[in-house]
Amino acid sequence: MTDVSAPQVKKRTGFQALEVDTRLLGMIGAFLVICFCFNILTEGRFLTPRNIFNLTIQTVSVAIMATGMVFVIVTRHIDLAVGALLATCSAFMAMLQTRYLPDMFGLGLGHPLTPWVTIAAGLLVGSVIGAFQGWLVGFLAIPAFIVTLGGLLVWRNVAWYQTSGQTIGPLDPTFMKFGGINGTLGETWSWIFGILAVAWALWALWSARKAKIAHDFPVKPAWAEATIAGIIAVGILGFIGILNAYQIPERRLERMFEARGETMPEGFTAAYGLPVSVLLLIAVAVAMTLVAQRTRLGRYIFATGGNPDAAELSGINTRMLTVKIFALMGFLCALSAVVASARLTNHSNDIGTLDELRVIAAAVIGGTALAGGIGTIYGAILGALIMQSLQSGMAMVGVDAPLQNIVVGTVLVAAVLIDTIYRKKTGGR
Amino acid sequence: MAPLCEMRDISISFGGVRAVDGVSIHVNPGEVVGLLGHNGAGKSTLIKILSGAYKADSGEIYVEGEKASIATPRDARRYNIETIYQTLALADNLDAASNLFLGRELTNWMGFVDDDKMEAETRRIMARLNPNFRKLKEPVSALSGGQRQSVAIARAVYFNAKILIMDEPTAALGVHETQMVAELIQELKKQGLGIFLISHDTREMLELCDRVSVMKNGQLIGTERVEDVTEDDILSMIIMGKKPDKAA
């Protein structure tokens, strides 16, 4: 096919015409290399539907927080308190659903409202604490490093204080559906979701192209657009297919039928499909990307990161912006607290320990610049996935725990080094 | 007729230092008023009070005869006061369109920023201001000094400014680009804008301005029509802080 709609500018041919972000490509490449290496080292156990399923649900909690950390770092701040804040929210929600709501408010155990009230209250608490930290940073001008370093100690121990250090569980059954293996869509709904996602992606590509043509902007050649559409469709449906290939073990199915007072038919099989927590991460990723690219809030975040003085002189209320960013970060910490405690089926005192480092590392590996102004949501999620793959892969291969951390630390520094060199070569972007 | 914009008896102090001390200036429609003085004379501080970056300790601002209260850059914009800062005040990581519309983004019916529309508008105004401008998709850090200046000027001109503040608009520019800025000032004058111009270049100021005000140590030494004074008169005002002897 020929280029029909871009008469201006020089024509891009072959691979260039795809106009894909080389940084994104590099990260996907690194991720695939890690996957295939571990697959060889584990004799094919790494890339099984079961392990991929586990990998995704283990990534969700850190990935959700990493999307918020992008905004924090883009505006030249840092949040060291995310793991501790997660623990405080998790402790609060665990106490709320097992003690306060059933006893103090008299809802009793297993009331259908319990999980929803818990989650709403947890998200509110996370946002308020985040907003408070943001107020200290934005309005009282205390450096974010100090505010959140203090927060790290404070919130970690507020969590401890709330539960007296006890493990709180079991949590509400509906609440636990957000954790991963306890809540999945099943085969049919997973496919339906996959098909809807592909349809939406194609529509988005098509309408973006239409808008460009309407303004007489150059567009990619049609074959390039079709190739990208194809890659997206195969990627989404392939991912759903893999998750659907992970069958629920027979024993577990039998128990599920027993619980309903039925007997399992002979030869019955069912797959887990898409976990609810992954669905949640996808929703967060879409929403945060929209905020970053298509809203004024997002524009102001990046402008402030690029040049705080210019943002201020353009009439942007940078103090309030800081409060909003930290409130959003707190909201996402609470959301991660739901996922993390639901996955473990209880709240334990050490939940979220060292998560601040994982989250910051994920954002930074994903291309967020600590100097501010640069970062992407998808990058941070890929960064979280890369970190988790390394960690689980090494655990599967049987690398000693200290060596695992040494490797992860080294990878973080190396990733930033490669990024710095890449930015210099491509001219500061 | 009341002046387009008047700053009356403005004072501001920073930690005991009177940066601006009881200064009054005004500009009429279609007039260019130059502000001259040494570094630290208080020119930029005075002008930043008008653009909302600083708040005056005392004094009043009148726009078209009405008393104006300007506490933030957003307030200034509401009175159609636009500023081109010496530092340009651009977010280097964003492209030209995002900078041009920073703080005033165009949005579609869903409330999302409409990048395509903003880019189309940017193309339109750039075609007028700087026809060689091509790098619309690049972050402005990738642009030359002149191109960055065009973005800053486009931002001030696009939104129908009535009062334009230009702080050293030609400091970073080459000969050709300086000429372009001079032509632009003439064109804006014809459209009836009032312009405050800050520069160190006395000769340039005498060419571009209708009146010049000289400041020294935060105080206004005097305001003169350019046809009434010579370059030497102005220089002596800047250096000695004395008005030229008119009678002689």
The CA distance from A220 to B238, in Å, is 58
Percent of chain B with pLDDT over 70: 98
Write down the pLDDT at residue B179.
85
Q: Give the closest-approach CA distance of A157 to chain B in angstroms.
A: 39
Residues A206-219: tens digit of each pLDDT: 988 888 888 878 88
- Binning pLDDT at 50, 70 and 90, where does residue A133 land? very high
Chain A neighbors of B94, CB-CB under 8 A: 299, 302-303, 306
Minimum-distance CB partner of B103 among A295, A305, A316? A316
Confidence of residue A1 (pLDDT cuts 50, 70, 90): very low
Q: In Å, what is the CA distance from A202 to each residue of A195, A197, A213, B171? A: 11, 9, 17, 49
Best to test chain A binding among B85, B94, B102, B122 (most A CBs inside 10 Å) = B102
Measured in whole angstroms, how far is the alpha carbon of residue A398 from the centre of its chain? 27
Residue B102 to residue A306, Cβ atoms within 8 A: no
B191 and B28 Cβ atoms separated by less than 8 Å:
no
pLDDT at position A360 over 90: yes
Domain boundaries, given as residue ranges, for chain A: 17-183+276-425, 187-274
Within 8 A of B104 by CB-CB distance, chain A residues are: 315
ipTM: 0.87
Report d(CA A427, CA A422) in Å as an integer. Answer: 9
How is residue A95 annotated by DSSP?
H
Please state which architecture CATH assigns to domain A17-183+276-425.
Orthogonal Bundle (1.10)
Measured between alpha carbons, how far is A78 from A71 in angstroms, rounded to an integer? 9
A310 touches chain B (CB under 8 A): yes
Residues 273-302 of A with CB under 8 A from B: 290, 294-296, 299-300, 302
- The alpha-carbon gap from B14 to the nearest alpha carbon of chain A, in Å, equals 19
Query: What are the structural domains of chain B?
Result: 1-80+163-248 (3.40.50.300), 92-160 (no CATH)
- The residue written with tokens 């959700």 in the block is A64
**How do beta strands B5-14 and B58-63 pair?**
antiparallel
Starting at the edge strand found earlier in the chain, the sheet holding B32-36 runs B81-84, B163-167, B194-198, B32-36, B211-216, B219-225
Q: What is the pLDDT of residues B131-159, one digit of tens each?
A: 778 888 889 988 888 888 889 888 888 88
Flag whether pLDDT at B247 surpasses 70: no
Is the pLDDT at B7 greater than 70? The verdict is: yes
- Predicted local distance difference test score (pLDDT) of residue B171: 76
- B238 half-sphere exposure, CB direction, 13 A CA radius: 19
Q: Give yes or no for a contact between A95 and A168, defined as CB atoms under 8 angstroms apart.
A: yes
CB pairs < 8 Å spanning A and B: 90
A425 in contact with chain B, both atoms CB, cutoff 8 A: no
Q: Are strands B194-198 and B211-216 parallel, antiparallel or unpaired?
A: unpaired
| Closest chain B C-alpha to A314 CA, distance in angstroms | 6
Give the distance from residue A306's alpha carbon to the nearest chain B alpha carbon, in angstroms. Answer: 5
Q: Which residue of A has its CA nearest to B87?
A: A310
| Residues in B touching A427 (Cβ below 8 Å) | 142
DSSP string computed for B199-240: -S-HHHHHHH-SEEEEEETTEEEEEEEGGG--HHHHHHHHHH
Where do we find the tokens 């060596």?
A403
Q: What is the DSSP letter of A98?
A: I
* Predicted pLDDT of residue A429: 45
Residue B155, token pair as written in the block: 């931002």
In this prediction, residue A13 carries a pLDDT of: 63
Q: Under an 8 A CB cutoff, do A427 and B142 touch?
A: yes
Between chains, do B142 and A428 touch, taking CB under 8 Å as contact? Answer: yes
Rounded to the nearest angstrom, the minimum Cα separation between A130 and chain B is 25
